[in-house]
């Protein structure tokens, strides 16, 4: 089991891992423990919306397709889903998110102060998909290297690079065993 499986999550078409909180405590944990300096913080201005983190270990700009997919995910995990209306979603860099309120103000659990410019997106549809994931054996993992091709070109996502590294190490160990 991966650490992010206790949250709501998905992998974008561009192989970026997007993680959201199920409640205020998970929102707090996502930002305090798991958000890194290159990640993006995504939220809707509606009360009760999940906090989403777009994991970006490379630090390269996140493609528009991945941002739009994450914005749709964010909106579908907000009060928009129940009321069946769309709303704007914004993203900011990790360094713009703070838990330090202005003097005399209190910030509750799961709430954050955003400093600087918010980058707004307008998701087009309230639409979620369902995916069945399965695990292949260690022996056949090496046969699946490079199967997931990106639309934008070069692999930059977190999820894809981890699977590629694991598959390559297994392939080299299988090759070493065969040569002995």
pLDDT, tens digit (0-9, with 9 covering 90-100), for 121-155: 977 778 777 776 667 788 887 787 776 665 555 54
Quick check: is 169 in a domain? yes
pLDDT tens readout for residues 84-122: 888 889 999 999 998 877 777 887 787 788 889 999 997
Indicate if 16 and 56 belong to the same structural domain: yes
DSSP 95: G
pTM tops 0.95, yes or no: no
Question: Is the pLDDT assigned to residue 55 strictly greater than 80?
Answer: yes
Residue 162 CA: distances (Å) to CA of 4, 20, 128, 167:
14, 20, 25, 9
165 Cβ contact partners less than 8 Å away, ≥ 6 residues apart = none
Contact 24, 39 (CB under 8 A): no
Tokens standing for 18?
A: 């997007």
Within this chain, do residues 105 and 167 fall inside the same structural domain, yes or no? Answer: no
Same domain, 169 and 82: no
Question: Where in the sequence is the domain holding 162, given as residue range(s)?
Answer: 138-179
What does the pLDDT read at residue 164? 54
Q: Which helix (H) or strand (E) holds 44?
A: strand 40-44
Q: Are residues 150 and 105 in the same domain?
A: no
Residues 39 and 99 in one domain: yes
User: Do 174 and 112 fall within a single domain?
Assistant: no
Assess whether 116 and 143 both reside in one domain. no
Structure tokens at 89: 């979603």
Same domain, 22 and 87: yes
Domains identified in the chain, total number: 2
Query: Does residue 108 belong to any structural domain of this protein?
Result: yes
């Amino acid at each position: 089991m991966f650490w992010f499986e206790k949250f709501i999550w998905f992998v974008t078409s561009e192989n970026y891992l997007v993680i959201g909180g199920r409640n205020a405590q998970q929102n707090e944990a996502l930002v305090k423990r798991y958000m890194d300096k290159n990640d993006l913080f995504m939220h809707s201005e509606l009360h009760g919306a999940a906090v989403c983190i777009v994991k970006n270990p490379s630090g390269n700009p996140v493609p528009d397709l991945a941002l739009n997919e994450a914005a749709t995910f964010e909106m579908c995990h907000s009060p928009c889903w129940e009321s069946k209306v769309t709303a704007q979603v914004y993203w900011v860099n990790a360094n713009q998110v703070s838990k330090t309120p202005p003097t005399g103000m209190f910030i509750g659990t799961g709430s954050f102060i955003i400093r600087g410019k918010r980058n707004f997106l307008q998701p087009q549809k309230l639409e979620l998909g369902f995916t069945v994931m399965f695990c292949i054996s260690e022996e056949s993992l090496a046969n699946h290297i490079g199967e997931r091709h990106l639309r934008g070109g070069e692999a930059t996502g977190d999820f894809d690079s981890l699977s590629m590294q694991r598959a390559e190490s297994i392939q080299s160990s299988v090759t070493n065993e065969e040569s002995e």
